Copies of this chain bind each other. A is one copy, B any other.
């Protein structure tokens, strides 16, 4: 059922994903993992990523239409998606509690979590566009 065996493939995917700083998608991970295990298939990468998400090691970031990207950052943080270059920037900021407000207004629902995402222009693009 649950993926439990520590195979070469899974080790390699874990290593790549933990080292990644880019919120990579499956294709990028596949490409990198092939440097460690050249015979791995894209299907296995997807299966492994699914397992890692299920186990909570990864958080999927899915933007409409585009490939799902994966985030292995342990620290609690939020994402800023740049409208200019599409990059995902981590924001480590403490935000006001939202779940409480929603629960107070809608006690009939069992609200468990809130997901927040910011949209704007990242510093790099801001500088680039200012020229």
Q: Residues of A with Cβ closer than 8 Å to B?
A: 60, 62-65, 68, 78, 80, 83, 89, 91-96, 98-99, 101-102, 105-106, 108-123, 126
Contact = CB atoms under 8 A, between A and B. Distances in A.
A106 to B, nearest CB: 6
Contacts of A68: 64-65
B116 A93 contact: no
Main secondary structure of the interface of A (DSSP, over half): mixed
Contact of A121 (B110, B121, B123): B110
Give the number of times this chain occurs in the complex, counting copies: 2
30 contacts: A60-B64, A62-B62, A62-B63, A65-B68, A80-B102, A80-B111, A83-B112, A91-B109, A93-B101, A93-B102, A93-B105, A93-B106, A96-B96, A96-B101, A98-B118, A108-B123, A108-B126, A109-B122, A110-B120, A110-B121, A111-B118, A111-B119, A112-B120, A112-B121, A113-B118, A114-B116, A114-B118, A115-B116, A115-B118, A115-B119
